[in-house]
Structure 1
Amino acid sequence: MNTFAIEMMDLGTAADPLLVRVGRQAGNGKGVPLLMFNGIGGNIELLAPLAERMPEREIVIFDIPGVGQSQLPRGPYRLCGIARMATQILDRFGIGQADVLGVSWGGAAAQEFAYRFSDRCRRLVLCATAAGVAMIPASPTVLWKMATPKRYTDAKYSRSISGDIYGGDFRTHPSLATELFRHIKWQSKLGYYLQLVAIAGWTSIHWLPGLRQPTLLMAGADDPLVPLANAKLMRMLIRHSELKVFDCGHLFLVTRPDDSAAAIRAFLDKP
């Protein structure tokens, strides 16, 4: 069951329209809304199970252009453009300030949003992410497997490499990749590569100490893609931050949704 009400928003211009698929969970009207940024190649449905465990909270999420069912853009974009797009979506819903969550690639987008639009971000949750090119990298074999979107188009291949790139529960239960694959709404290789281009050369390392938002860093102890050392580094750089480590891998939001939702709720609901 998809907890999100889905709509298509035109976030382009009259000369260059761009239809973006947006999901919104209504919540109970209390508290601060939560804006989510998904990982690379990820569509709205991937984070629906997490949202279902926070039914009281208004949640907004969207498919990045060229991903899921959002329209493929005419050309490349950068993370600053994705952050601006998020403000347009919040404006359409009449949301002035939100809490912001980002996972993996989306964690970089969330950092960019918090930095560029700091007055619109109350608290920040960064999951399985890093500070861009200044990160402690994954092994070359893991990076090579991530360079291609084949895991989103070939179910058998996805099962065979899921433990290598996601670690944690995927090492012992490769069948989890089948469930993950079921939620994927694949669009095109170009959309995937545009996401890689968007983050190429990007880093937050020089302005992380200036972030004002209280920040929860969430990481997996066995994450081949974004090693735990990255979260520890960011914990040192972000002044008002805390670190929550799961005995899991890169996709703890998917494999441990109950524990993840509990940690997120406890952090966002602090006085």
Structure 2
Amino acid sequence: MTAAHPGPVEESYIAAGGQRIRVSVRRGTGVPVVLCNGIGASYEVLDPLVAQLDPDTTVIRFDVPGTGGSPVSLVPYGFPYLAWMLGRLLTRLGVGVVDVLGLSWGGALAQQFAFQNPRRCRRLVIVASGTGMLMIPGHPQILVKMLTPRRFRDPDYAASIAGDLYGGTARTQKDDVAQLFLKQLHPGSKIGYTHQLLAGSVWTSLPTLPAIRQRTLIIAGADDPIIPVVNAHIMKTLLPHATLHLHDGGHIDLITNATELAPVIETFRHT
């Protein structure tokens, strides 16, 4: 039996929720998986993960306003709005029920989407994420490096901080991380990055986690300087149908070590 080849990839701009959103869809079969990216990053950064997912799976990626190819929102926004916007985007694509995966900042959006769309979100995957402003934070010396998008624009700077910022396999793949950031269509605007920071600063999922009834997979690394692993244990306690997968890596091992973590996601989605 020969291995399946990935389906065609369609890239387009779609008007949804008053925004013009850049979207990538790799066509396949079954329940599509929607990928919500980390702060400041365009969807190209997720290429290593997509390459390791089942080639027969429909994969939907998008740039939130102010990142990659999506224009900056005229006004700041919050996660409830973004979750509503994502629903409108999926409707425009003709997509119904989905699985949603969120990495870091995107994990907050994924949680909010699952809460607002209980019938549309089949399964939820939360990776290297937490409960927002009410969580156990990383060390201030680490978090201060997150306040600007400089790492997306300056590859030398990105390489110099990658190990300390992301931990895990990024400690030995500093140059690879920097090169991955350079693959982005655009590094994103400072205003767009600020909007994302503001969205995270006023949001928490603590009151809503018990109401998320979807089966949930939480993936967390023991060497994550940004989101300490204790946050994964807190979410596991509060989510009614959660499974916790711990690994030895760091904040972006979903990308830098996709060969190990993608099969964990596929097993969860298909069992």
**Coarse TM-score class (shorter-chain normalised):** over 0.9
CA distance in 1, matches of 2:163, 2:147: 16
Q: What's the counterpart of residue 207 of structure 1?
A: 208
Deviation at 1:90?
Answer: 1.1
1:184-203 counterparts in 2 under 5 A? 184=184, 185-203=186-204
CA distance in 1, matches of 2:93, 2:17: 17
Deviation at 1:47?
Answer: 1.1
CA distance in 1, matches of 2:215, 2:108: 16
Deviation at 1:12?
Answer: 4.7
Q: Aligned in 2, Cα 1:2/1:71: closer, same or farther, shift over 3 Å? A: farther
Q: What residue ranges of structure 1 are gaps of 5+ in the alignment?
A: none
SS in 2 for 1:20: strand
Deviation at 1:183?
Answer: 2.2
Counterpart of 1:5 (choices 2, 5, 10) is 10
Query: What amino acid sits opposite 2:12 in the alignment?
Result: E
Q: What's the counterpart of residue 3 of structure 2?
A: none
Deviation at 1:253?
Answer: 1.1
Q: What residue ranges of structure 2 are gaps of 5+ in the alignment?
A: 1-5
CA distance in 2, matches of 1:127, 1:83: 17
Q: Aligned in 2, Cα 1:59/1:75: closer, same or farther, shift over 3 Å? A: same
Contact 2:218 2:236 in 1 (8 A): yes
1:150-161 counterparts in 2 under 5 A? 150-161=150-161
Contact 1:64 1:70 in 2 (8 A): yes
Q: What's the counterpart of residue 253 of structure 1?
A: 254
1:230-270 Cα distance to aligned partner (Å, 9 max, x none): 11111111111111112211001111111221011000001
RMSD, aligned α-carbons: 1.6
Q: Aligned in 2, Cα 1:164/1:128: closer, same or farther, shift over 3 Å? A: same
Deviation at 1:162?
Answer: 0.8
Q: What's the counterpart of residue 263 of structure 2?
A: 262
CA distance in 2, matches of 1:172, 1:9: 38
Q: What's the counterpart of residue 182 of structure 1?
A: 182
Query: What amino acid sits opposite 1:180 in the alignment?
Result: L
CA distance in 1, matches of 2:9, 2:165: 28
Q: In the alignment, does 2:171 pair up with 1:166?
A: no
TM-score (norm 1): 0.93
Q: What's the counterpart of residue 36 of structure 2?
A: 37
SS in 2 for 1:194: helix
CA distance in 1, matches of 2:243, 2:226: 21
SS in 1 for 2:174: coil
Query: What amino acid sits opposite 2:141 in the alignment?
Result: T
Contact 1:246 1:252 in 2 (8 A): no
Q: In the alignment, does 2:70 pair up with 1:65?
A: no
Query: What amino acid sits opposite 1:39 in the alignment?
Result: G
1:222-241 counterparts in 2 under 5 A? 222-241=223-242
CA distance in 2, matches of 1:201, 1:11: 23
CA distance in 1, matches of 2:172, 2:43: 26
